[in-house]
């Protein structure tokens, strides 16, 4: 059997007396769209930062794309894509310059950079704005470009931290088209979101409450388990926001 | 005589070449809980800032509680409460210090108007000596709302109070708004979450600096131009592709566990579509007619505008 692409066992992060992530365990398979849900302050961002090699765990085990989060954090960073809500594009560079800049950082050859740039611009319909600065583009275009740039180097996994905040409903769905396509092509997608309809688009979701994973399954099983019709209701039943 | 809380007439605002508000006209009644529903960049914040007398319009006019937003801005400022999109209280003052500061600016005291904020403030009062910068998102929200309320405003402007907030905290926030509404305060609230439209008395759907529709949520939904179907099968990605290739498709969008589909024909021959999908090897097919929601309507309006 194929090894899980993300593996976590009793993964824990403490800040002083406060346990932000409390012994979480899960396995994610190749090509899965995995929704990582939880209320504000439940520990999602902390968990994600450990998985992408930015923060060392306090205890527990985890590997991402086959690399250990303690010893091989640099290798993890090379093998993943990452996009956050405050996307990483340079506002005062043009569309083409941004693509080329990131392709260069990812170590693509000149030939690869050329073909990737042409391909991306065509696919996203950005031909007319290829030499426009990012700051002049609508939010939705930026998000789609930021996602495409995040998977420019064909990573095994892409981490998306609330990628669709604030965009219009049509653009939000176009964005999910890109996610489906990436997953269809074998890229594992690890995504956090506050839109519960998007939770339904995931193959499996986990719900974090006060640092622990309190539920993990595919959306239809979770809905059955809680005897409700939507993931929104599952979430509201599960996730008590942590106050004070 | 009619005495609206807001009266907006062909309001214009541009930033360089970008037209943020394109001649917006709108009237809001006193005591309404009114929602400005739209994505980032729609013009919601520009509109709220003009109404809150923090930004000058380029053209048109607007009155808040009968006062002109340019000439009578000082009157408006005493009668309104404003909660900006970004948390803007003093991070290094405590909860109580922030609240007292706002009260004293408006020449009142926390004691005098405690009854106004009691429901909200009581939830954070046990931590009143904690610095605002150290509060959780939900607590900051409650403090910001308390500060916006402490001088007994007649109208409240809330700019995206629930953006980036998880569904549970969002529910709690809307419960607070309902209680404020019962006190007779007019509330203007903007949000990018379409499902929150149903919690308002009336809504304006805003996109690209223009209002696409203004009505009660129920009436907006009735304007949906055609029949809507929810469809699902075992493979959502392929279902989406195949429905897009279906000759009579009008629109198809992912919607939670289903896809929402409209057909070019007035009535959908369900058997024909089912057969088409079965030929494309879709298993566990489900096709059912459903009532549209605000988000369906918003997308239908957007497609019409294009």
- Whether residue B139 is contained in a domain is answered as yes
**pLDDT in the model for residue B2:** 66
Low-confidence ranges of chain A (pLDDT < 70): 1, 86-87, 240-244
User: What mean pLDDT value characterizes chain B?
Assistant: 93
Do B254 and A176 count as a contact with CB atoms less than 8 A apart? Answer: yes
> Do B153 and B41 fall into the same domain?
yes
Tell which of B216, B248, B270 closes a domain. Answer: B216
Percentage of chain B modeled with pLDDT above 70: 99
Chain A, chain B: beta-carbon pairs less than 8 Å apart: 103
Specify the 3-state DSSP secondary structure of B224: coil
Q: What digits encode the pLDDT tens for the residues A186-203?
A: 999 999 988 888 999 999
Read off the pLDDT of each residue in B3-29 and give the average, rounded to a whole number. Answer: 95
> Do B182 and B289 fall into the same domain?
no
> Do B260 and B283 fall into the same domain?
yes
> What's the gap in Å between the CA of A125 and the closest CA on chain B?
16
Residue B277 is part of which domain span? 228-305
Chain B residues whose beta carbon lies within 8 Å of the beta carbon of residue A167:
39-40, 192
Class of domain A6-86+156-238: alpha beta
> What's the gap in Å between the CA of A33 and the closest CA on chain B?
12
> What's the gap in Å between the CA of B255 and the closest CA on chain A?
6
Chain A residues whose beta carbon lies within 8 Å of the beta carbon of residue B237:
180-181, 183-184
For chain A, domain boundaries: 6-86+156-238
**pLDDT in the model for residue B191:** 95
**pLDDT in the model for residue B234:** 86
Considering only residues A197 and B68, tell me which one the structure prediction assigns the higher pLDDT: B68
> Do B199 and B119 fall into the same domain?
yes
> Do B201 and B270 fall into the same domain?
no
> Do B261 and B290 fall into the same domain?
yes
Enumerate the β-bridge partners of residue B251: B262
Within chain B, strands assigned E span 6-15, 18-28, 33-37, 59-64, 67-68, 80-83, 155-158, 186-191, 202-207, 210-215, 228-232, 249-255, 258-263, 286-290
Tell which of B216, B237, B262 closes a domain. Answer: B216
> Do B212 and B244 fall into the same domain?
no
- Whether residue B222 is contained in a domain is answered as no
Strand order in the sheet with B202-207: B80-83, B155-158, B186-191, B33-37, B202-207, B210-215
> Do B208 and B274 fall into the same domain?
no
Read off the pLDDT of each residue in B278-282 and give the average, rounded to a whole number. Answer: 94
> What's the gap in Å between the CA of B209 and the closest CA on chain A?
13
Of the candidates B174, B210, B196, the residue with the CA atom closest to the CA atom of residue B21 = B210
> Do B200 and B52 fall into the same domain?
yes
- Whether residue B221 is contained in a domain is answered as no
- Whether residue B183 is contained in a domain is answered as yes
**pLDDT in the model for residue A241:** 47
CA-based max dimension of chain A = 55
* Number of domains forming the structure of chain B: 2
- Let me know: does B202 contact B34? Beta carbons within 8 Å: yes
**pLDDT in the model for residue B146:** 95
> Do B70 and B135 fall into the same domain?
yes
Chain B residues whose beta carbon lies within 8 Å of the beta carbon of residue A139:
39-41
- Report the alpha-carbon distance of residue B34 to residue B28 in Å, rounded: 7
> Do B209 and B256 fall into the same domain?
no
A153: left (phi over 0), alpha (psi -120 to 50) or beta: alpha
Chain A residues whose beta carbon lies within 8 Å of the beta carbon of residue B236:
180, 201
Do B254 and A201 count as a contact with CB atoms less than 8 A apart? Answer: yes
Percentage of chain B modeled with pLDDT above 90: 80
Q: What digits encode the pLDDT tens for the residues B105-142?
A: 999 999 999 998 998 899 899 999 999 998 877 788 89
3-state secondary structure B130-164: CEHHHCCHHHHHHHHHHHHHCCCCCEEEECCCCCC
DSSP letter string, A148-161 = HHHTTT--SEEEEE
> Do B33 and B179 fall into the same domain?
yes
Tell which of B192, B216, B240 closes a domain. Answer: B216
**pLDDT in the model for residue A240:** 58
Which CATH number belongs to the domain containing residue B267 in this structure? 3.30.70
CB atoms within 10 A of CB B215: 15
- Let me know: does B6 contact B80? Beta carbons within 8 Å: no
Chain A residues whose beta carbon lies within 8 Å of the beta carbon of residue B41:
138-139
**pLDDT in the model for residue A244:** 39
- Let me know: does A142 contact A89? Beta carbons within 8 Å: yes
Question: Who's near B233: CB < 8 A, 6+ residues apart?
Answer: B239, B277, B282, B283, B284, B285, B286
Do B41 and A231 count as a contact with CB atoms less than 8 A apart? Answer: no
When CB atoms are compared, the residue of B136, B172, B236 closest to A41 is B136
- Whether residue B223 is contained in a domain is answered as no
């Amino acid at each position: 059997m194929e090894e899980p692409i993300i593996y976590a066992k009793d993964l824990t992060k403490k800040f002083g007396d406060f346990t932000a992530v409390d012994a979480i365990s899960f396995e994610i398979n190749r090509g899965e769209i995995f929704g990582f849900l939880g209320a504000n302050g439940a520990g999602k961002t902390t968990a994600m930062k450990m998985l992408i090699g930015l923060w060392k765990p306090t205890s527990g085990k985890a590997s991402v794309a086959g690399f250990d989060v303690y010893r091989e954090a640099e290798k993890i960073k090379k093998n993943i894509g990452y996009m956050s809500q405050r996307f990483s594009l340079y506002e005062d560079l043009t569309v083409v310059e941004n693509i080329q800049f990131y392709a260069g950082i990812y170590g693509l050859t000149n030939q690869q950079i050329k073909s990737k740039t042409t391909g991306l611009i065509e696919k996203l319909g950005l031909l007319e704005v290829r030499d426009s600065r990012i700051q002049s583009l609508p939010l939705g275009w930026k998000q789609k470009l930021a996602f495409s740039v995040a998977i420019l180097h064909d990573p095994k996994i892409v981490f998306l931290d609330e990628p669709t905040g604030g965009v219009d409903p049509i653009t939000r769905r176009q964005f999910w088209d890109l996610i489906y396509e990436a997953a269809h092509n074998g890229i594992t997608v690890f995504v956090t979101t506050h839109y519960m309809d998007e939770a339904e688009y995931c193959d499996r979701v986990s719900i974090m409450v006060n640092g622990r994973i309190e539920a993990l399954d595919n959306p239809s099983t979770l809905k059955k388990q809680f005897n409700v019709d939507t993931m929104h209701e599952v979430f509201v039943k599960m996730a008590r926001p942590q106050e004070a | 005589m009619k005495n609206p809380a807001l009266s907006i007439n062909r309001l214009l605002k541009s930033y360089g070449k970008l037209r943020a508000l394109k001649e917006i006209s709108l009237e809001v009644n006193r005591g309404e809980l009114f929602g400005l529903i739209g994505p980032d960049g729609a013009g919601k914040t520009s509109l709220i800032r003009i109404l809150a007398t923090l930004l000058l319009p380029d053209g048109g006019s607007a009155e808040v509680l009968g006062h002109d937003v340019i000439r009578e801005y000082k009157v408006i400022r005493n009668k309104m409460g404003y909660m900006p999109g970004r948390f803007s209280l003093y991070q290094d003052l405590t909860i109580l210090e922030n609240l007292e500061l706002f009260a004293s600016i408006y020449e009142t005291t926390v004691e005098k108007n405690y009854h106004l904020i009691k429901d909200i403030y009581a939830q954070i009062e046990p931590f009143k000596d904690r610095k605002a910068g150290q509060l959780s998102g939900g607590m900051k929200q409650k403090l910001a709302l308390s500060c916006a309320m402490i001088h007994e405003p007649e109208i409240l402007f809330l700019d995206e109070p629930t953006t980036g907030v998880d569904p549970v905290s969002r529910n709690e926030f809307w419960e607070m708004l309902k209680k404020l509404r019962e006190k007779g305060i007019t509330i203007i609230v903007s949000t990018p979450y379409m499902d929150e439209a149903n919690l308002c008395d009336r809504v304006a759907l805003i996109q690209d600096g223009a209002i696409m529709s203004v009505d009660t949520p129920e009436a907006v939904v009735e304007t949906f131009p055609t029949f809507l179907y929810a469809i699902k099968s075992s493979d959502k990605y392929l279902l989406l592709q195949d429905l897009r290739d279906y000759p009579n498709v009008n629109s198809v969008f992912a919607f939670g566990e289903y896809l929402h589909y409209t057909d070019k024909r007035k009535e959908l021959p369900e058997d024909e579509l089912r057969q088409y999908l079965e030929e494309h090897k879709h298993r566990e097919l489900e096709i059912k007619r459903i009532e549209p929601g605000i988000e369906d309507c918003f997308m239908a309006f957007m497609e019409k505008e294009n």
